[in-house]
Structure 1
Amino acid sequence: MNAKPRGRQFFNNPGPTNIPDRVLRAMDRPVIDFMSDEFVAIQHACHAGVKRVLKTDQTLYFYNSSGHGAWEAALANLFSAGDKVLIVETGYFSQSWEEMAVNLGIIVETFAADWRKGADITRLAERIAADKAHEIKAVLTVHNETATGMVLPVAEIRRALDQARHPALLLSDTISSLGSIDYRMDAWGVDVTVGGSQKGLMLPTGMALTGVSNKALDTARKNKAPRHYWNWELMNGRAPQKFMGTAPVHMFFGLQESLKMLEEEGLDGVFQRHTRLAEATRAAVRQWGSDGKGPQLYCQATDRLSNSVTAVVMPEGTSSDPLRKVAIDRYNLSLGGGLGPLMGKVFRIGHMGDLNEPMLLGCLATTELAMKTAGVPFVKGGVDAAIESLAG
């Protein structure tokens, strides 16, 4: 039996992400009464801090759940069986949200898109404008598609709705972009934003959130579909907590600290750091595949490349599974795998959250080592290309 690799694990999955020591230490304390004045103050500070990250003055709700729970909260509050929504295809996670909507009896129209090139916003605008009867109740989007490493221009979709004078709500999943990529809920006219704790917010998985506009709240009040745990009106009645059930006090302890870390660096600084690390990662991948035979960037839309995760296509005839196994078993590097139809075809490098240049260079160097060990063809010099990018 092979011994477990020594040393710290380099964790470059695109979620969950590294949890900073400061956050772990903040959570390492006794429980307190979640109805106490002390905890209510912490919770209110967290609400205010997350709203600053979302760049919103709208209402914010938290849940004990993964991001999927926040998906369902949005659907359950806003739509009844038979309502129609339009989902912009981005990859595995847009498909998953679509599947959830269908299971809730919602009629889903998918605006199809090439996963490597992204949705054509001009054609999407034409589809929205063609809905003269306003059958479409909402447009659902994934701001940053974790499976493909692509960002969707949400603001352009709001512009299309406004130009068509279409009353549909705009929903946006920001689970893998919140706290990593600039996101402007109010300026972009987003009615419901879905977020999770385990990525840019640098927390364990288990707490999700939704930012909700007044327009969406009004829609929810009129919606007669049954719901309980996710019910925003019931949560409003649970003041001062606005929380269903027992609040996860330790998650809020951690969130308070992670928000301090984000604001000490400054959001602009956070986004610039993510941009630097993403560009270095892409420089490495481009070098690995510079002969046309090695790994390639999955996303081919250069203006939509994600700054929180990079998806890498394996060379023809090779699988990402043996590469990832060598990386984790022999070298203690955790890389993300392909999801859905991309299983075995891509691997993913997460570069979001608590990450700096030495950590990224360690990941890229070990990825080269794992590729060499696993027999994956690539052009040497990816780390040098990343260094040049970072030093420029």
Structure 2
Amino acid sequence: MAQNSSRAAGRHFLQIPGPTPVPDRVLRAMDTPVIDHRGPEFSKMAKKALEGIKTIFKTANPVVIYTATGTGAWEGALVNTLSPGDRVLMVETGQFATLWKKMAEKLGLKPEFIETDWRVGADPNLIEAYLKKDTGKEIKAVCVLHNETSTGCASPIAEIRKAIDAAGHPALLMVDTISSLASMDYRHDEWGVDVAVGGAQKGLMLPPGMSFNALSPKALDAYKTAKLPKSFFDWEEMLNMNKVGFFPYTPATLMLGGLNEGIAMLHEEGLDNVFARHDRLAEGVRRAVRHWDLEIICRDPKYYSSTITAILMPEGHDGDAFRSLALDTFNISYGASFGRFAGKMFRIGHLGDTNDATIIGALAATEMALSLAGVPHKKGGVQAAMDYFISQHAAPVRVAAE
């Protein structure tokens, strides 16, 4: 007689857009005895992490490392640069942009939202036009997400910087890179970003619990006059202690070792190769989705994300019920649905320490789940992705020797 079992054989396909699977090398780097966070061994490790993370943000300026999730780094960005009642311009790209706005309201700021249908990234032209109307230069910051994790829509940060400059506006540019950092090209200094928010649990391949603020000289100047209350997230205390390799409070000691290993892995592959890999995997997923005759939430290809694809369910089919069926049957997890698309979509993450074969496995599980769920689709999406990957890896034709 068969017995019920709670164990699922084989690997779990964690296809949420973060946290992503933690590589063995990173796990081993964290599998060490805890050391004194005021001792010389720790100082050496921390200085290495503080310098190394700059190479990922592509900045020569300081990067603050918090023992907190990305939400904490959002707060750090706002409280260190702004004062009660300051106006802040944000763009409604999706659920996480909305949450950042709600945080700003709770902190006593006055966020103003450029509304969208959640199916595009931030439009530089709309930002420029909005700022030009602010003749009194009262807006103190523009806050956008480089990659909106809830919808799979990316925003052109370099163009947004140009739009702010074209408007002749002094507002700070703050950018959430949580689901793009170390997966999509991001250039903090070159693009003129003032504060970047990052998290360790996605492209950097660590567990949740570590986040970042990459700074600019302009942001550090803004700190001097910012009047919002701050304690845990105070930049000055962090930067002063960081100079000697320490933190003003007990940091995530083991995760700093894992961060150093993750950064080393990224540079061994080469950042440009990392970005190209994510671009390739994303396009393979989109080709499968289009072949299935399903609709991608991001409706304009110029805003396509390279780390997450959100897929709209056909009318009459529930996205959360589909996710549950796929998990129970094929041991695969997709990203949940939010806000105006609650129950209407599911999200496939294709970021972090992943490759073509893993994504093909995830797409195969997805196509089987679509069939079991009775979701109308055209079979062969997995093959469409395979054909694309093959074309990207195909070697030049060799003429056989006589």
Tell whether the structures are fold-level matches, with TM greater than 0.5: yes
Partner secondary structure for residue 237 of structure 1: helix
Match of 1:108 in 2: 111
Deviation at 1:236, TM superposition (A): 2.6
Residue 18 of structure 2, aligned match among 15, 31, 36: 15
Deviation at 1:120, TM superposition (A): 3.2
Partner secondary structure for residue 253 of structure 1: helix
User: Which amino acid counterpart does residue 324 of structure 1 have in structure 2?
Assistant: R
* Partners of 2:42 and 2:245 within 8 A in 1: no
Match of 2:174 in 1: 171
Return 302-311 or 332-341, whichever deviates more.
332-341
Deviation at 1:78, TM superposition (A): 1.1
* Partners of 2:238 and 2:248 within 8 A in 1: yes
Return the TM-score normalized by structure 1: 0.96
* Partners of 1:5 and 1:330 within 8 A in 2: no
Partners of 1:2 and 1:185 in 2: CA distance: 49
Structure 1 residue 228 and structure 2 residue 231: aligned? yes
Residue 274 of structure 2, aligned match among 270, 273, 294: 270
Match of 1:134 in 2: 137
Match of 1:285 in 2: 289
Deviation at 1:115, TM superposition (A): 1.3
User: Which amino acid counterpart does residue 344 of structure 1 have in structure 2?
Assistant: G
Match of 1:359 in 2: 358
User: Which amino acid counterpart does residue 172 of structure 1 have in structure 2?
Assistant: V
Cα deviation, 1:139-186, whole Å, max 9, x if unaligned, reads 001000001101101111110111122110000000000000000111
Return the TM-score normalized by structure 2: 0.94
Deviation at 1:2, TM superposition (A): 5.9
Cα deviation, 1:48-78, whole Å, max 9, x if unaligned, reads 2211111111111011110000000111111
Structure 1 residue 63 and structure 2 residue 62: aligned? no
Partners of 2:188 and 2:121 in 1: CA distance: 21
User: Which amino acid counterpart does residue 203 of structure 2 have in structure 1?
Assistant: G
Partners of 1:280 and 1:375 in 2: CA distance: 23
Match of 1:149 in 2: 152
Partners of 2:238 and 2:144 in 1: CA distance: 25
> What does residue range 30-69 of structure 1 map to in structure 2 within 5 Å?
30-69=33-72
Partners of 1:177 and 1:217 in 2: CA distance: 24
Q: How many residues align?
A: 387
> What does residue range 75-86 of structure 1 map to in structure 2 within 5 Å?
75-86=78-89
Partner secondary structure for residue 222 of structure 1: coil
* Partners of 2:88 and 2:109 within 8 A in 1: yes
Partners of 1:191 and 1:201 in 2: CA distance: 21
User: Which amino acid counterpart does residue 18 of structure 2 have in structure 1?
Assistant: G
> What does residue range 254-269 of structure 1 map to in structure 2 within 5 Å?
254-269=258-273
Deviation at 1:340, TM superposition (A): 2.2
Deviation at 1:242, TM superposition (A): 5.3
Match of 1:292 in 2: none
Cα deviation, 1:296-322, whole Å, max 9, x if unaligned, reads 111011111000000000011101112
Residue 164 of structure 2, aligned match among 161, 173, 177: 161
Question: Gapped runs of 5+ residues in structure 2?
Answer: 392-402
Give the CA RMSD over aligned residues.
1.2
Match of 1:92 in 2: 95
Structure 1 residue 73 and structure 2 residue 57: aligned? no
Partners of 2:224 and 2:246 in 1: CA distance: 16
Partners of 1:234 and 1:56 in 2: CA distance: 21
User: Which amino acid counterpart does residue 319 of structure 1 have in structure 2?
Assistant: D
Partners of 2:227 and 2:275 in 1: CA distance: 40
> What does residue range 299-310 of structure 1 map to in structure 2 within 5 Å?
299-310=298-309
Deviation at 1:326, TM superposition (A): 1.4
Residue 244 of structure 1, aligned match among 242, 245, 248: 248
Partner secondary structure for residue 314 of structure 2: coil
Question: Gapped runs of 5+ residues in structure 1?
Answer: 290-294
Match of 2:342 in 1: 343
Return 319-328 or 352-361, whichever deviates more.
319-328
Match of 2:399 in 1: none
Return 159-168 or 92-101, whichever deviates more.
159-168
Deviation at 1:5, TM superposition (A): 2.2
Partner secondary structure for residue 299 of structure 1: coil
* Partners of 2:178 and 2:198 within 8 A in 1: yes
Aligned-residue identity in percent:
49
Partner secondary structure for residue 337 of structure 1: coil
